[in-house]
Amino acid sequence: MLKKKDKYVVAIVGATGAVGNEMAEVLEERNFPVKKLRLFASERSEGKIISFHDESVTVEILTENVFKGIDIALFSAGGERSLHYAPIATKEGCVVVDNSSAWRMDPKVPLVVPEVNTHDLKWHKGIIANPNCSTIQMVVVLKPIHDAAKIKRVVVTTFQSVSGTGKKAMDELLNQTSDLLNFKDIKPLVYPHQIAFNCIPHIDKFMDDGYTKEEIKMVNETKKIMGDDSIRVTATTVRVPVFRGHSEAINIETEKKLTANAVRALLSKAPGVLVYDEPEKNVYPLPTLTAGKDEVYVGRIREDTTIENGINIWIAADNLRKGAALNAVQIAEKLIEMA
Ligand code: A2P
């Protein structure tokens, strides 16, 4: 449990990665009460300097002995590191907000999106899981609709940027794009296929039933965060050649009828959501618009005329911010409020 203090010793585990980097920026931007920032990565990054406010912070090697004296650790260094180091950190009294999928479905670990289920933070035992990026941006929008009209079923297709895979994938998209434009041969390294000028309907591993793990995460995590096992979710997740920002086409079937205008009114009052929906002026969410922004943008709000109570929407959000770093920092802010 976090003790009330004026300022906290905060660590970022995986500080040199795409999400870790963003975590430091979000902590700085939101003036998080940081007494001291500690940055950890692999031995490859030892000694790298990252600036935080007016200071230069040196990246240290992650070992089992580093957690003494750290109040809050934001983890984004992959599932294996989280599985191994998060319990070690909690033994030292450190509260861990973990961005990997390692702890998300553990019944003893809350899975939290502050706009949806802050109340679940009450029962944490040292580790809080940050949900999957595509799930976070979807549930922020589903929650007010569920509260108003009870969602029965969700059909979602994602268009996910390469930053969700990490820094190496961003380099791969950049290099492939430039090589192909210069008539050079390319060799896919991070993804099984060329990602430049392509769409790959394959995120994370395939399961026996033909779904990918990313699709299953969206199904299971949505139920856990919303606290309702009755919501049926089916997903198709697709990697697209976008650097930053995930988009999603979502079809929602509700028990009660909601008009498109009613959905627009509900979402315009919802925390963390920005209704961006004037199609006649070409105004709709785009990943280029949401880069660096905190809100989940929602537009293309229409009634689905093929079922009795259905709505179609299109959303976009910055996967590195609301989908990862910002949500983790917001969880830490709530923990401080509750301390
Ligand atoms: P490093 O840069 O030293 O490899 P991304 O998801 O963008 O690829 O970032 C992954 C983050 O996790 C990086 O900060 C990376 O550090 C860190 N990381 C990867 N493997 C380890 C490890 N064995 N120990 C500590 N940090 C690690």
pTM of the model as a whole: 0.98
Angle between helices 18-29 and 326-338 (to 10 degrees): 50
Instruction: Return the pLDDT at 269.
Output: 98
94 belongs to the catalytic site: no
Q: If you take atom 12 of ligand 1, which residue's CA is the nearest one?
A: 77
Domains of the chain: 8-131+324-338 (3.40.50.720), 135-319 (3.30.360.10)
199 is catalytic: no
Q: How far is CA 272 from CA 136, 190, 317, in A?
A: 11, 32, 10
Task: Give per-residue pLDDT as tens, 21-42.
Answer: 999 999 999 999 999 999 999 9
243 Cα: distance to centroid of ligand 1 (angstroms): 19
pLDDT at 300: 98
> Residue 139's closest CA among 255, 12, 272, 324?
272
* Dist. CA 254–CA 96, nearest whole Å: 36
| Span 249-290, pLDDT tens digits | 999 999 999 999 999 999 999 999 999 999 999 999 999 999
Say yes or no: CB of residue 176 within 6 Å of ligand 1.
no
- From 94, 124, 133, 146, the catalytic residue: 133
Output phi, psi for 281, to 5 deg: -105, 15
Cβ of 150 below 6 Å from ligand 1: no
User: Degrees (nearest 5) of the Cα angle 235, 241, 242?
Assistant: 90
